[in-house]
């Protein structure tokens, strides 16, 4: 989230949903399934940064357990 940190240091604040979208867009291609899943699950509601972070941590834990 280097871009978010740079903007914050320039006193430019981003709303929660935009931060979540920036985080998702910064992921490598092997995270595409999770990105699509999260994007599709939040069509009605706003995407939250906390929900994205929690999903990423859960996915990373599962990948480690599977040895991927």
> 51 Cβ partners below 8 Å, 6+ apart?
20, 38, 42
Q: What is the number of structural domains in the chain?
A: 1
pLDDT, tens only, 7-50:
778 888 888 998 898 899 999 999 999 999 998 887 667 889 99
Q: pTM of the entire structure? A: 0.76
> 56 Cβ partners below 8 Å, 6+ apart?
23, 27, 31, 34
Here the tokens at position 5 are 């940190």
Rounded Cα gap, residues 11 and 33, in angstroms: 33
């Amino acid at each position: 989230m280097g871009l978010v940190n740079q903007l914050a240091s320039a006193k430019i604040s981003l709303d929660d949903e935009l931060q979540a979208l920036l985080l998702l867009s910064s992921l490598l291609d092997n995270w595409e399934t999770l990105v699509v899943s999260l994007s599709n699950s939040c069509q009605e509601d706003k995407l939250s940064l906390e929900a994205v972070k929690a999903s990423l941590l859960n996915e990373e834990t599962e990948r480690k357990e599977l040895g991927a």
